[in-house]
Structure 1
Amino acid sequence: MIEIIETGPFNTVQDLGRPGYRDIGVSSSGAMDPLAVRIGNSLVGNDEGLAVLEIQTFPIRLRFDQRTVFAVSGTDGSPLLDGVELLSWCAYSAEAGQVLELRQPPKLARAYVCVAGGLDVPSVMGSRSTSLRGGFGGHAGRPLEKGDRIAIGEGADMLSVPASGLAAVEPTAALADFVPQSDDGALLIRALPAGEHGLFAEDGMAFWGQTWRISSRSDRTGYRLSGDPIMPMESVEMRSHGVVPGVIQVPPGGEPIVQMSDANTAGGYPKIAGVIECDLWRLGQARIGSRIRFVRSTHAEARAVEQAVAQYVEVVRATSQMVKRALKAMA
């Protein structure tokens, strides 16, 4: 059991989401940084899709009521266990009564607390993710509150889960050859032209050529971008169409909206581009006020990045499984 002893708003239970229900108006939800969930779960010996805590407002403190193997992923900061600084992206063993504290990361937006066995909350439509807009899933369909107690899954064999010291190279370093960098500190996000790209002047250069800023009106549903408005060359009447995370729409005001994890299931705004799936985790770690530029990508590049990410995840998973087998053999 985990007890929440201090928290901020909008911290929730998430997993990799609930796909397959958009046709009935249910968004997929799930972690804003799914790669951090996959790696964190692998470090503690879980299947990669088990439920975790997604932390986006800090500080948060939680108490373990039982011996627990855990890892904090996603963050570029250092968690504290009973005041002792630990490494992120590394598995540790906590004893009953110990307190884990996460402070505001230096640069990134979110952190994930992954525990061996996963978080034992009810599965709704095949997922334990919190849908804040729907008020279901996760822990009572709402953000975490002080005093909440969340059960840990019983599937973890504590004799065969990776113990303290199993760590992963964090993704931006491990995937450095596949992560574009800018000279001015702006976050470069790769995207593909979408259905209504041709409606915008000069092949959309006003979109691709400028630096956007993530507005304070952004949330898990979508990132609203501030910058010089972009307008279609002609007014068109559009029917509502299906929308998924990563789609970039342009409302009448001309400032784009990037659909994120709690993306709307349908909408009628023109679609100028779509973020490639393997860059969504990077965008999910961008803070309010961050500067971003979109880089026009190709399907071939998107596939290459996807293969690199899959190989990285597999190396971490395979290492964790090897450690589990060795621990079982020694038990």
Structure 2
Amino acid sequence: MTELVVKTCGPMTTLQDRGRLGYQRFGVSPSGAMDRRSLAIANALVGNSPETAAIEFMNLGGTLTASGGDLRIALAGAGCTLSIEGALVPPHTTAILKDGQIAQIGHARTGTFAYLAVAGGFAIAPQLGSLSFHLRSKLGGHNGGPLQAGDHLPCRSEAQEGALTHFPGDAPQPPDAIRVMLGPQDDYFTEEAIRLFLESQFTVSAQADRMGFQLSGPTLEHSKGFNIVSDGIVDGHIQVPGNGQPIVLMRDRQTTGGYPKIATVISADLDHFAQARPGSILRFRAVSRGEAVAAAREAKAWIAALPEALVPLRFSLTTEHLLSTNLIGGTVNALSPKIGEG
């Protein structure tokens, strides 16, 4: 059996796909990839559907090796680099990890989350329809936990034949301000609190994980207290507890909550928000429901168009290839006459 073997990785390296949908009424968090656009890019490069499970790296990279056969792999997200046996793979490019070779994923440079996809995905049984690991419930993942050194991830050997491709573009750039829809409990805040929320800067605190990002900024004053009858939570809801500091709820969030929610990050901007690092400064901008729906449709269309945006690799950038091409048309030295002279 062809396997991807983990040699080293960070403490929150996990398997993530689109998430565990349809179980919130039972108290089961959806979980899933923090940056679905980057997940989709990595999957497109190896011929997978956008929601196929991949390895999610948080901040730190890792090293892995192929065992029992060659693997077609690709990496996307957070400015991380992919090297195979020390040779750097160009960004957003499919690569072949040959049996016994070692792939190294660098640390995050421009965000937090990166994704390594393998052609055909992993041959691991899902739990409640998903491989996504949820830390607090221990659902999904590999053997009910995050990845760690020594883990063997079975892969589908029949899916490893295929074209090597490159994605020449970039993921959509983050907006100047994260777009939100006010509510559903914006009436629990003073007019001044709403104004401060939309006109002030906030900083992502060190208290940020897959469950939620706590922000630091001006205190947002409640007008009706900070406790409500617990109601449903969705990705991107912005709760404001008694200290007046907002918390943006992310993929591993709880399914219900009892703090009023001043606004909700629109789905099209949640991937951008997820890549914000502690210390990042951001602002919010209110949009209408129509604008939020239009942005969601645009994001969905962008992901659907990824396979057509890929270009085939004409050659492999190996030392052997570079030596076989005539890259130098001649040589000169300091004593050679200048062009046009003698």
Number of the residue aligned with 2:152: 149
Number of the residue aligned with 2:175: 180
Number of the residue aligned with 1:46: 48
1:248 and 1:259 in contact (8 A); partners too: yes
Asked if 1:128 corresponds to 2:136, the answer is no
1:8-87 superposed matches below 5 A = 8-65=10-67, 66-87=69-90
Distance 1:218 1:237, change over 3 A: closer
1:142-171 deviations in Å (ceiling 9; x for gaps)? 111111111113551x33x232x4324121
Looking at CA atoms only, which structure, 1 or 2, has the larger radius of gyration? 2
Q: AA paired with 1:180? A: P
Distance 1:205 1:103, change over 3 A: same
> How far, CA to CA, are the matches of 1:155 and 1:249 in structure 2?
46
- The TM-score normalised by the length of structure 1 is 0.88
1:212 and 1:291 in contact (8 A); partners too: yes
2:226 and 2:240 in contact (8 A); partners too: no
1:210-289 superposed matches below 5 A = 210-235=200-225, 237-289=227-279
Number of the residue aligned with 1:191: 180
Which deviates more from structure 2 when the two are superposed, residues 2-11 or residues 311-320? 311-320
> How far, CA to CA, are the matches of 2:110 and 2:121 in structure 1?
27
Which deviates more from structure 2 when the two are superposed, residues 20-29 or residues 204-213? 204-213
Give percent identity, aligned residues only.
32
Q: AA paired with 2:43? A: N
1:31-52 deviations in Å (ceiling 9; x for gaps)? 0001111221111111222110
> How far, CA to CA, are the matches of 2:286 and 2:187 in structure 1?
14
Number of the residue aligned with 1:327: none
Q: Aligned Cα RMSD in Å?
A: 1.8
2:227 and 2:260 in contact (8 A); partners too: no
> How far, CA to CA, are the matches of 2:149 and 2:97 in structure 1?
20
2:214 and 2:246 in contact (8 A); partners too: yes
2:50 and 2:303 in contact (8 A); partners too: no
> How far, CA to CA, are the matches of 2:49 and 2:61 in structure 1?
28
Number of the residue aligned with 1:90: 93
> How far, CA to CA, are the matches of 1:17 and 1:148 in structure 2?
22
1:75 and 1:88 in contact (8 A); partners too: no
1:72 and 1:111 in contact (8 A); partners too: yes
- Stretches of structure 2 that go unaligned for 5 or more consecutive residues are 313-342
Q: CA deviation at 1:237?
A: 4.9
2:200 and 2:283 in contact (8 A); partners too: yes
Distance 1:319 1:217, change over 3 A: closer
Q: CA deviation at 1:304?
A: 2.5
Q: CA deviation at 1:236?
A: 6.3
2:14 and 2:55 in contact (8 A); partners too: yes
> How far, CA to CA, are the matches of 2:276 and 2:308 in structure 1?
29
> How far, CA to CA, are the matches of 2:195 and 2:25 in structure 1?
33
Number of the residue aligned with 2:293: 303
Number of the residue aligned with 1:112: 115
> How far, CA to CA, are the matches of 1:236 and 1:212 in structure 2?
20
- Stretches of structure 1 that go unaligned for 5 or more consecutive residues are 182-187, 324-331
Q: CA deviation at 1:307?
A: 2.8
Asked if 1:170 corresponds to 2:177, the answer is no
Q: CA deviation at 1:198?
A: 2.1
What secondary structure sits across from 1:215 in the alignment?
strand
Number of the residue aligned with 2:315: none
Q: AA paired with 1:259? A: L
> How far, CA to CA, are the matches of 1:268 and 1:41 in structure 2?
37
2:58 and 2:108 in contact (8 A); partners too: no
What secondary structure sits across from 2:207 in the alignment?
coil
Distance 1:250 1:155, change over 3 A: farther
Counterpart selection for 1:99 from 94, 99, 102: 102
Number of the residue aligned with 1:326: none
Asked if 1:290 corresponds to 2:285, the answer is no
> How far, CA to CA, are the matches of 1:25 and 1:68 in structure 2?
37
1:44-66 deviations in Å (ceiling 9; x for gaps)? 11122211000013231111122
